[in-house]
Amino acid sequence: MKKTLILALLVVGGAAFSTASAQGKKKEKKNRQQTEAACDTACQKIELKTSADSVSYAAGMSMTVGLDAYLTKRVGLTKEQMPDFLRGLKYGIEHRKDSGFAAYAAGMEVATQVEKSMLPNVESQFEGSSEKIDAEMLYRGFLAALEKDTTFFRQAAAEDFFRTRQTAVKNEKMAFNKAAGEKFLAENAKRPGVITLPDGLQYRIITQGTGPTPNTTDRVRVVYEGKTLDGKVFDATSKHGTEFDTFGVGGLIKGWTEALTMMPVGSKWEIFIPQNLAYGERGAGRDIDPYSALIFTLELKGIEEKPAETTGMKEKPVVKATPAKPAAKGGKPAARKK
């Protein structure tokens, strides 16, 4: 309910502000005057005459907890923009039962979803291709479909054309990534200190530890950083606000599992993982394309012993090697199986 309210507040605030700015200063002034007039009723001096009045008023205040942070951190509103937000909010409250306004607000909500989620997803799929997505043209097509405009495409034809190009670009990128990974690993194998295993996994020892070596049933504590071949860091322990990440060795991508089961505690390695030992044809989110070879710096801090059962109660895990100072568990490691 709280999430729905926050979204509704954002929509009505953005709707009034966007309409005013789009129609020029003159109409903006007129809209502001109308909004302020509409607020005369909603914002007039009130009195809390009954217990129900007090509860209702307090409920309204309580429902805004976290909204300030959401608006600034997630939406990107600045302090200077808050008066515009509040003006739109007041207008939305005054017209909340107006079906026409509700439809307008729904349009703003869909526009926000396209801008924040759908558009970036499509852009990432075509990034680096000769058919880079043009945002303005995409919006024109979006509107044309809803307005039943068939000047250039009928709906089914547009979907078929897009899917065909989407698949072609995906195949081109996969072929490129696969070839780039193979070329990189072939050249990397010639570097001093790089060891190549029979399945293609490569590693370079930065620090060799002297502690025990984990097996696939162990849980380990590690510090890591993951990069694509172009040097982009897509995940790291440092991004999680913790001193280490903890997870099961057997639940990771093959390249990580294989490397960890060879690393004594205290070791720090750089590992180079072929696509077939990483995420393969699936890729992982927006940062890791299908058939991408990956590079990780991996430091093994400790192994957690399996809980022992005594009189029906489990003991707390004990670390075999003295780890860094305990901290809260961080985000999900990028090398975990998807």
**Euclidean distance between CA atoms 164 and 317, whole angstroms:** 53
Backbone angles phi, psi at 214, to 5 degrees: -75, 160
**Euclidean distance between CA atoms 234 and 252, whole angstroms:** 16
The pLDDT value recorded for residue 127 is 85
Give the three-class secondary structure for 332: coil
Please check whether residue 249 is in contact with residue 263, taking contact to mean a CB–CB distance below 8 angstroms. no
The pLDDT value recorded for residue 27 is 52
pLDDT digits (tens), the chain, 338 positions: 444 444 444 444 444 444 444 444 555 555 555 555 545 444 567 889 999 999 999 999 999 999 999 999 888 899 999 999 999 999 989 988 888 888 998 999 999 999 989 999 899 889 878 888 999 999 999 999 999 999 999 999 999 999 999 999 988 988 999 999 999 999 999 999 999 999 999 999 999 999 999 999 999 999 999 999 999 999 999 999 899 999 899 999 999 999 999 999 999 999 999 999 999 988 887 788 889 999 999 999 999 987 765 444 444 443 444 444 444 444 444 566 65
Closest CA to 272 of 284, 258, 260, 255: 255
Q: Record the tokens describing residue 14, joined without a space.
A: 């953005």
Residue type, 265: V
The pLDDT value recorded for residue 282 is 86
The pLDDT value recorded for residue 317 is 40
Backbone angles phi, psi at 124, to 5 degrees: -65, -35
The pLDDT value recorded for residue 18 is 44
Q: How many CA atoms lie within 13 A of 5 on its CB side?
A: 12
The pLDDT value recorded for residue 41 is 47
